[in-house]
Structure formats: structure tokens, C-alpha cells
Structure 1
């Protein structure tokens, strides 16, 4: 037989006696046993417990529940220092039906009442839902576990950015608006938020409006086609606009921030085509003259750079050949190599054609390229080349000395030319 414990029984150990008074056919009998009486509990939440919380906000809109835990029956005792949890479903400590608890949790007890403070976690969905406060089973007080649910509305702090496409006269005259709403805690877009955009003319009369919802990325785009387009100031004047977002899922703090943006206004910028000014013909003449001078200067500068490079390269050829001769290298071969290197330089710079046939062409080209060098130095160089190329006698130390002097003189005069670049004659 099952006999329920009466509500007046105190919690704890009791002795239960069973007596049978007997019948005409049965003798009387009795028995006793010890039993434990447990009590259910009722969790009461005060009306002041927060009905609206903001996700991930532990400062301005945390979860704050106050209440008490009392036994059912017995003496109706109110208890303190029990283990309480809060989550998005009952028995969150056991993950019943996927429920999760909200850590961290701060609980204080005063005169049989508790104050529970927690932060709504980032993974909660925004909108209406239920939170559950659980009291764990307490073996020392023979209390069963208890739970209570409370309806709550979860909001989220959001960054709201509005971008208004500027109007460019004659180029882009359609009005376009883009609004993005992102959760601050997850950096993810908030879908399904209603956004309304209003357009007003210069008389502050409403001429158009649109209402749309943000997509999965938290973005919504508005376009206002019209014929003629709203950006045509000759018809509509300069347009002003307003953006309204009044969704309860957006936190009070974020709504206030957005209202501050609205108070400043959402500027629709206009860029007008500049009127062409009357330009004097003399201005064009001055511009042409300046252009010609600049172009001429650029040409002269480039030719000067080319001439400087030629002088530098030629000086290196002369210096290198002089070093070879001074070191005792083959005289005829060193001089002839110098001649070939100079021919290559003159051909690269356009002073000497690649298929030239006579020595006179070379002599003319080198005088044109190195016009600042004295005729005596150039004649000595010519004689050195002719000596190496046409002389049949064996070249000895005397020829070596003459060649070194000629090459050294060429290098010295080129060095002087580089100090005074105005002496250079550039090829046409």
C-alpha cells in the first residue's frame, strides 16, 4: 500500500507504525519502521526581477532576480544558502533538453531572501523567451530540487551604421541608402530588423518612404527610383532624409545612440557641375609657352644626362686601358680593345653608325661626342689608335709610354668637362 505523507509532517526521520486490529478469523498485528520525509520547495521571484536584459551587458542591463525558497508543507520554512542556478531551461546543470546555465553567477542571501545577478550570455537569441531558476536538491535539509520559470525579453547592443550615397549632378542622381546593424558582442549581423527611410523635399513635405528588413548579414539597402530622379534639384530641390529604427530587440543604450545620430541628421551630399569660366586667349598662349618651355627643358635635361653618362663611360674606358698598359699587358691588344669599346659607346649613343667603314668616321664621331676635349688630346688619341692598328713594328716601352700619356690626358680633360657641363656639345 502507498500512503502519502501528510502536509503537516516535518521534514526528516519519522517512525511509522501500522496496526491491524484483527477480525474473527485473524489475530491483531502491528509493525513499525523508520521513514524519511522530504519536502518540495517553491521558488518565488519578486515582481521587481528584471523583465528585460541585454545580452553580454553586465553593467547597464544584467539579469537581477530577487526572491525566496520555501518548503511546501511542514512549517513553511524559508531557506538560505541553497545552491541556485539560472539558465535558458530547467535543470540546466544536467543539460536537460539542451538547457545551458549562465555563469558567472553572484548570489547573496539576506533574511531568507536571495539576490541573484548574472550576465545574459552572447549565445542567446534576441527576443522573448524564458529563463529558469533552479534550486538543487539538499540532502541535509531533506529538500527536493525546485524550479521556476520567468518570461524575459533579451535585447542586444548594436552598432548601427547608415551610409547615404552622394548625389553627383548629371552623373549619379538616384538616392541610395545602406544601413548595417551589427551585434557588438558577436560582431554578427542582426537579421529581421525593421528599418524605415523617409524622403522630404525642401518644403519638408514627405515625398517617398520605404520599409525593409535587414538580411542575414544585418544589411538592408534602399533605392528610390524616380523620373526625373530625386537627385534632380531643378525638379525636387535638395532632398533631406530620415531613418527610423524602432525594434525592441535593440537595446535602450543602442537606441539612444542611434537617436543621437538622427538628431544630427543623415546628410545627403550634393556635388554640382562647376560652371565653365570665360578664359582669356592670352591665358592659352601663356599655357602653351609654359608647356613648350617645360618640354624643351625636359629634352635638354635628358640630353645632358645622356652626355654625362657618355663622358663617364668614356673616362672609365680610358682609365681602364691606361691601367692595363701600366701593368704591362699586351700594348697593341689593350689599345685595340679600347678602340672597340669606344666604338660601342658611340654607336649606342647614336654618334656612330654600326656599319661605319672608315677611321675618319670614327674621328668625326668622337669629336662630336667629346667636343669639349682639346684637339691636341684627340689628335694624340687618333695617333695612338693608328699606331696600334697599322704599325707593323713591334710595340715596346716607348709606345706604351706614349699610349698611357694619351689616355691619361683624355681622362683628365673629361674630368674637367664634367666640372663645367656647359662646354658639352650635344648631338642633334
Structure 2
């Protein structure tokens, strides 16, 4: 039975949204403190994994209550909403970029955002956008989520009833993708930046983790340092830190990184979710689950505000996509670059928090009693 919601998930989703926003602002000094600087994975893995976690937790409740057909219809309706939002967001983003490019003389922001295709062939670009084949920079996670969510009605019954089989099938597709290079074509001769055949594994693993979290089980009485799985995961997470930090100083990296490790480690593909990225994220997630259990800390004011952003991840993500190029434009035009970079990064998070608070108040006004559908609306 799916009965409980882990409030840590909302917090981590909100934190991932902050990291994604900071990472999307070029030369943002606060981006030096996001996850991508301390390991092989980054906030994208958090976002997709927890999207699967939240979706299975939410729609699994509906399936238990009303059946898989109703749950499937609700999922597809949600995917359609995301698709419409994606189209609207593209139009808004293009307008912002074209205006910004006319003010920033030192850079071609249209080219940086991969919008040249729209200028060269707007008619075909619009068709490709409707087919999810044309995706400007910053917007890649949303089409991925649309595809993963649209496929969930097929996966959910197997995932709930036979979790191990669903995970095995998902990992098999992931492995074949790594071997044969499967991907979905994009405009021109391109491919999807976030390969759905690969990233679906993380989405399904997130759903499996949600189901596992609902099962009653006895806590391991052994201290963490005597639990082999935790020790292995902690070792992977710890070893990745100096390697990731060394990327900032290529000379240091080349001097201390053994050749045989480099040959096996690189390239670390984000498009195909390289195995080292997947293993690193899963190890990090397991360590966090063990080291940061749920408790009174989730009631802290700041934690609740970040978790509030996580509950409205779609709306907050869309706002961050709009804010990132605006922050980039303001930074490029500022005389005191560092001060403006810090101001826009912090102000952007403040606006994201403000939107989350407004959405929370609006939800309380329209639906004062908490229901399961409140969870589904933000899956």
C-alpha cells in the first residue's frame, strides 16, 4: 500500500531546482557550489530520479483507489499539460532571448541558446518544436519529462506488481542503449540531449525507490561503517570529489590521474547517462537516505520553504528557465559584474520562492483540505 509521503523528497526537489537555475546562468559564482562540482552527476539526476519517485507515489495512490485505467488517463492528461506548457515556454523564451540579444553587444545569445535554427527556417522549426525535435538550451529537461511521463501508464502496473521485473527491463533497455547508441533524432542531424532510452532507467529507479520506501522493514542495527553497501556507496561518492574538483585545474588533473583510470572513466556522457554518472548518483542517494533520515529537521522554516518549491516543481522550473537568460543579460550589462552576478542569482531564487508561496496560498484558498490529488498535481 502507498500511504506515506517522504517530505525529504520535496526538499531535495526544491534544492535541485535551485542548483539547475544557478547552473544555467553563465559564469555564475554560486554555480561553483552546486552538485556538479563535487561528483560525476548533477542536479539533472536528482530532478529525474525524484520525478519518477513523486510520479509513482502519486499515481500509484490513484491506481490503488480507482484502478490503473483512471491512473493512466490522469497521467496522460498531466503529460498533455506539460506539452502545452512546453510550447508556451518556448515562445516566451525566444522573445526574451531576441530582446536580450539586441542589448548585449559582446555575445550572440541567440546562437548560445541554439535558436539560429528558428531564424534560418522558422516554419520547419515550428513543426519540429511541435514534434519535440527542436529544443533550445535550458528547455531539454521538460521534453524528457513529457516522454517519460507519457510512458508511465505502460510501466506503472508492472512496476507496482512486479517491481524487480520492471527495474530489470528498464536496466536492460539502458544497457542496450549504451551498447548500440540508441537515441531519438532531433532537428537536422542532431539527437536528444537527454536520451530518453537512457534516462528512463533513473526515472524507473526513482519509482521503485518510492515503492520500496512504503514497505515496512526493520532498521539495520549495525553502525553504518559495518554495512557493506553503505561503505561501498560512500567510497564511490568520496572518490568522485577530488576527481571532479581536479577538472577545474587540467594540469593538476593530468599530473595525478593515472592513464588507465582516464581511459576507463572518460568520456562521461550526460546525453546517454554514462554508467559512472548513474552509479555515482545512486551511491550518493543511498548515502543521503542513510545519513539524513526524516525527522524534526524537515519542520525547519528554511527547509519547508525549499520543500514548497519542490511541491510545485513544474511551475518553479518554468520560471527558472525564464529567469536564467534575464539574469545573464543583466550580468552582461553590469559594470560591477561580480556584485550583479550574486544579486541576480539570489534574487532569482527569491522569485522562485515567492512563486512557490503564492501557489501554496492559492491552493489553500481553493482546496483548504489536503487530498491525494494535491500530490498528483505536482508529480
Alignment TM-score, normalising by the size of structure 2? 0.22
Higher relative contact order (CA 8 A, sep 6+): 2
- Identify the structure with the greater helix proportion: 2
Q: Which has the higher strand share?
A: 1
**Which has more radius of gyration?**
1
Per the normalisation by structure 1, the TM-score is: 0.20
